Chains A and B, each alone.
Chain A
């Protein structure tokens, strides 16, 4: 945590909303990203990210300055998203509404590559949505935010061994879901070995 951030937190603790606004501005991307990866569409992600910052602001007194603010914030966002998924029982994902940033940019230097990239983004998101909420949170924090197992354990209130086993289980589930999808390269590779009759 930088000195500037510590100052903003100090000022926000004294009721300065503008100071916390600077923190919102600084962390909006990672918080939104976690929420999007967890919930699967940008409307829910926006709502969850906003709510996470509100919770962070109202519970700022509980923040331990010796810990990382980012970890604390993403922990709030992860818990909020897990609660939302449990409430709504989101079994399927709607990737129709994608954030503007990952919709194909026709003005990009290589639109075809962009399109392929977007297809992969959608596919990884769909695969991610097959995981259980807590496993999904662990995977998102581990691979999209490069959190260590200890940090994930702190964020999700789990033991390190529980995080390890959840991550392993989630990786296997992801790989199986990915391999089972019709667009999978691994499936295509596998099909080349199969009889042409099939």
Chain B
């Protein structure tokens, strides 16, 4: 049982409404991609789903149990959250940081068990970080660092995975790697995965369902075909696009239409 549900989730900050009555149901084994322009509230929504933020009203529940009833530790056993940023000023090594993903399981003092060590090693392998284990985190590039905190979220071994921009700053190869791995894990281990992404075409390829945030609320949720339409994209991102079929995969493929004269290229006249 690992469904994640939000009901009329409302969040405001300094008397400003940021998210207005968001209701979402996420099922086990499904990858939901959150889309929206900068400042639309994607990160806020993810953080609200794991009780990083206090809701103004509404509720979030895991397997029908309100998340405010969980202790922090029990919640961390159920939901792993990969933040977009965190403090990088420490002399911890990659192995140290990934190991800390086991904290919800071993608590404050229990030493790591053989099982813990196995999970840590699997997570390091899955993110291609085996050779980086002893590297200090201050010496990592942006992409390596992101893979490390993904590895830590994997080591947390929770049935619900919330990933905030897991592909930002990664090379194309690692973007595919990460999304592919996350998707396969969602299917194999029957996880709920919620990801925020900027790339609409990645969303179409890797998401089972897409949720589009704009003007503080969800303006669309459904398959890529239902959500990635020129009119919804114009409404959410204020850009003109055309949507074609991917020549190989057949999924919807969003092609931007650049404003006339902005690129120095002429418009093809078919």
Chains A and B belong together in one complex: no
Q: Using a CB–CB distance below 8 Å, which chain A residues touch chain B?
A: none
List residues of B whose CB falls within 8 A of some A CB.
none
